[in-house]
A and B are shown apart, each in its own frame.
Chain A
């Protein structure tokens, strides 16, 4: 082996002064960092992924994890990541797998946008004292209404509205399948969204029987592998989402490793136990926008036109035109998944290099739909890289109706963003199917944490709106006048249709 050992990613140390030899670190580490030798706890730092499970459960704060204790000789071009990727592929000759979302240090547009607040000339509104409306309806809206004035003074509505999803906060949880994450994790999310009055996605993993009680808050996904899809599944969902692409891997299919396909996952997905679940890159019945229209109509027909149908695409260069096509397909919402969107497993080269940020994609999609006079045909759901309530407010200002969150909901359940989801040994019981690890995640307490997170963001969003003198979320939507770009270049300011700070 001519490459030999590479520098450690993490160095784990136990402070002997503090350690009481309780062994909780050994029990909790699912990556084999700790072992007992005699009375001593021995450490193999090379196995550490910095998931911090040991650190969280050490009763004495005795553990210290240092990142990159010994680094490579520094070089501005040949970074550590680049060199390690070369080593990896020199050894394996394979595509490098990764987890979570884009990990390149591209500038984050959200962090270069600032929100507005009222001063003197108009009053800010206090959400503690005045109503503040965050209720959002997702789906197709008519472009105008036809009303009839009755002789008795009543007004009759002649326009028939198509079904919309009603959410009490514009925050939903994105599609993370049973398989990618554990049933306990999905159950916690399902309990949280049901309590709040919002929705979550099933991902391309079917709907497990135990989640049927929460089906009114589930958006069922139909992806290219059609895993778990039958009429029972479609009918149970509150809405149906066709997944064309995903921000973490635009242009390619999905891959659930066989190790994660346990008996239960196999039943829910309707595939053999232990087999890899590989979704093809395209839908094999969609080779053009007309084909998409047919699938939208088939799904609506199958569910008697009672459910909104969403279409999810990865944010790519031409998203705006693609979304305009989707708006004409009969779909009720387009989900735009930015390149920071997470994934349980994605080729590193796609995660880090393909697609565009959700901020720019949503801005151009909203503008294009308005230009063509079809903005009312579809709602826009933004996902991929929404980290806090300010991001929600900013993306709504840029034109989104609502957001999907993924990673932040997982972080609320303990995820430390170690990015090792694809290995199936998540110590937090989230991205794993190993029963002993799954059991670590209590759906009840974790549901409360996810609920707290969304409630906290919702409160902050209400405060931000009130400060901007807005008491209804539709007045924030597409209101780019309430944003300013801080150190963004002119080209991007034009795309975002946002002025610079001070202007």
Chain B
């Protein structure tokens, strides 16, 4: 049982952008945008996730791993992965020394093909193998932490200011059509790389500003479905909840957000009968998934970017558009740093999702 956890509490800055035509953007602008919200962070954690960065290996799961020590901890992980599938390619993630950032882990990437025969009973064996491996490795805490596990995407994070973390990975060298970034202000365990956002599982990535007061309920609910909360944080639970609701239960992103931040009964009681029935069913079924407390969250997968806040909007969230691009951020200023001419700046109502989807 994990007792220690921390939140991205008071401040934290988040920004996300999706290009609906999958036009690639390098990471330089997102770095600038995030750095413009340094006021919201404390220099103890920042991170980025980019979708579309590994076109040559897009068939394989890209596992990003923090090793405490390559000599001691890599071989056991290699062995484990070889047991469950094939390592197509692996290499150290290139990093560049920064004066303000102490390299306490060695980031590594694997391109991995799971063997579906290893989970004969599952209808989604590959995804279930990846989930199982992530939960297993991260809960054993044996000098290796898998912090990114989707296809054609990668998380880059560390303890430091956004610009230092970006320069450490040279984020500008990566080209993605969907980016999420996060600037952290921790209050509990500072300086742990695993605790920086984004959090990722399979193709789901989450950045979060806030504290989930319902974490105890959400965690116990999600763990009864076989997920294990191992990252000492309330944010990872969001990734698992979205995975459960959307991937396993087949809800749309909009309906999943409805379950996580549902309307109040007072509003539901005033809805027309059919809508009332639907919303009541969502609240009854997914009551334990309801997230309480102050939060603004961005969730992404390979096709979409969704932003939403808690039911009484205790954290800021704003969106804007320019052409095929949808931006979601804590602050309008950060969006304008990427595109000064952004249009349709809107502030969503509490619990209302902002959804951006790639054109099909």
Contacts and interface: CB of A to CB of B under 8 A. Distances in A.
Interface of A: 118, 120-123, 125, 130-131, 133, 135, 137, 141-147, 149, 154-157, 159, 161, 164, 370-371, 373, 375-376, 397, 468-472, 474-482, 497, 499, 503
B281 A149 contact: no
Contacts of A477: 217, 287-288
Contacts of B210: 122
Contacts of A470: 213-214, 292-293
B255 interface: yes
Contact of A161 (B220, B249, B281): B281
Contact of A375 (B215, B224, B286, B294): B224
Interface string B220-244: 1101110000000000000000000
Interface stretch (B3-11, B96-104, B152-160, B337-345): B3-11
Interface of B: 1, 3, 7, 9-10, 187, 210-211, 213-217, 219-221, 223-225, 248-252, 255, 264-266, 274, 277-278, 280-288, 290-294, 311-312, 314
Given A142-B284, A503-B3, 7 more contacts: A154-B274, A470-B213, A471-B312, A478-B288, A479-B214, A482-B213, A497-B1
B294 A371 contact: no
A480 B216 contact: yes
Nearest to B265: A135
Task: Identify the interface centre among A123, A137, A145, A161: most chain B CB within 10 Å of its CB.
Answer: A145
B264 A133 contact: yes
B281 to A, nearest CB: 5
5 contacts: A122-B7, A144-B248, A161-B280, A471-B292, A476-B214
Nearest to B244: A144
B287 A474 contact: yes
Given A470-B292, A475-B290, A482-B216, A149 B252 contact: yes
A156 B252 CA distance: 12
Given A130-B312, A133-B264, A476 B217 contact: yes
B220 A469 contact: no
A106 B80 CA distance: 51
Contacts of B266: 131
A471 B214 CA distance: 10
A155 B213 contact: no
Given A122-B9, A474-B288, A481-B216, A133 B281 contact: no
Nearest to A370: B224
Contacts of B251: 145, 147
Contacts of B287: 141, 474, 477
B308 to A, nearest CB: 16
Interface of A is mostly: loop
Nearest to B220: A478
A308 B210 CA distance: 39
Contacts of B187: 121
A161 B278 contact: no
A263 to B, nearest CB: 45
B10 A468 contact: no
A144 B249 contact: yes
A144 B255 CA distance: 12
Given A122-B293, A474-B217, A479-B217, A133 B265 contact: yes
Nearest to B211: A122
Contacts of B274: 154, 156-157
Nearest to B187: A121
B288 A155 contact: no
Contacts of B288: 375, 474, 477-478
Contact of A471 (B280, B281, B284, B311): B311
A166 B176 CA distance: 49
Task: Identify the interface centre among A159, A371, A477: most chain B CB within 10 Å of its CB.
Answer: A477
Contacts of B221: 370, 478
Contacts of B294: 122-123, 469
Contacts of B290: 472, 474-475
A469 B281 contact: no
Nearest to A482: B216
B213 A468 contact: yes
A371 B224 contact: yes
Nearest to B282: A145
Contacts of A474: 214, 217, 283, 287-288, 290
A479 B221 CA distance: 10
A403 to B, nearest CB: 17
Contacts of A472: 290, 292, 311
B284 A478 contact: no
A120 B11 CA distance: 11
A32 B301 CA distance: 79
B214 A144 contact: no
Contacts of B224: 370-371, 373, 375
Task: Identify the interface centre among B223, B264, B274: most chain A CB within 10 Å of its CB.
Answer: B264
Contact of B277 (A157, A370, A479): A157
A149 B255 CA distance: 10
Contacts of B264: 131, 133
A145 B213 contact: no
A380 to B, nearest CB: 13
Nearest to A477: B217
B314 A123 contact: yes
A371 B293 CA distance: 26
Nearest to B213: A469
Query: What 9 pairs across the A-B complex have the smallest Cβ distances?
Result: A481-B216, A475-B214, A474-B287, A475-B292, A479-B216, A121-B9, A469-B213, A122-B211, A370-B224
Contacts of A154: 274
